[in-house]
Amino acid sequence: MQRLLGFSVVLFAIIACVSGAEAIDIDFADVKNGGAFVQGDKAVAYSTITWEGQRIAGANRSGGFRFVGVVPQSCIGTLSDGTSTIQVVVFDCTPGILPTAIVDSGLEIGAATGG
């Protein structure tokens, strides 16, 4: 019984550590005005955000970010905060069609959210 209790405590500690780790969270990723508009949070605070291998934005102190970048040809882009790398599905995207320009949407390219 004592051995089972000890195992349960160790298992609980491992689960708590794993579930405590936060991964980048995407609020939305959509094609707007010819560009991929991506917004999310849980990035490393003040980290550099890369999109498709290019530096594009900075996370705020809460790990929030938003940017307008190129639409990946496959409609799935790679986003990283230097610690975590995730694949992001861009909605309202047609695979294989690349926009020729990003039209001014009122957002600065690479603008980080206030925080």
The single-letter code of the amino acid at 62 is: S
Count: domains in the chain:
1
Global confidence as pTM: 0.67
Cα-Cα end-to-end distance for the chain: 50
Model pLDDT for residues 70-98, shown as the tens digit of each residue: 999 999 999 999 999 999 999 999 887 65
Residue 63 domain boundaries:
23-115
Tell whether 112 is covered by a domain: yes
Tell whether 37 is covered by a domain: yes
Tell whether 109 is covered by a domain: yes
Model pLDDT for residues 32-82, shown as the tens digit of each residue: 999 999 999 999 999 999 999 999 999 999 999 999 999 999 999 999 999
Tell whether 16 is covered by a domain: no
**What does the chain look like in DSSP terms, one character per residue?**
-HHHHHHHHHHHHHHHHHHH----EEEEEEEETTEEEEEEE-SPTTPEEEETTEEEEE--TTS-EEEEEPPPTTSEEEEE-SS-EEEEEPBS--TT---S-PPP-SS-TTPPPP-
Give the pLDDT confidence score for residue 3 in this predicted structure.
52
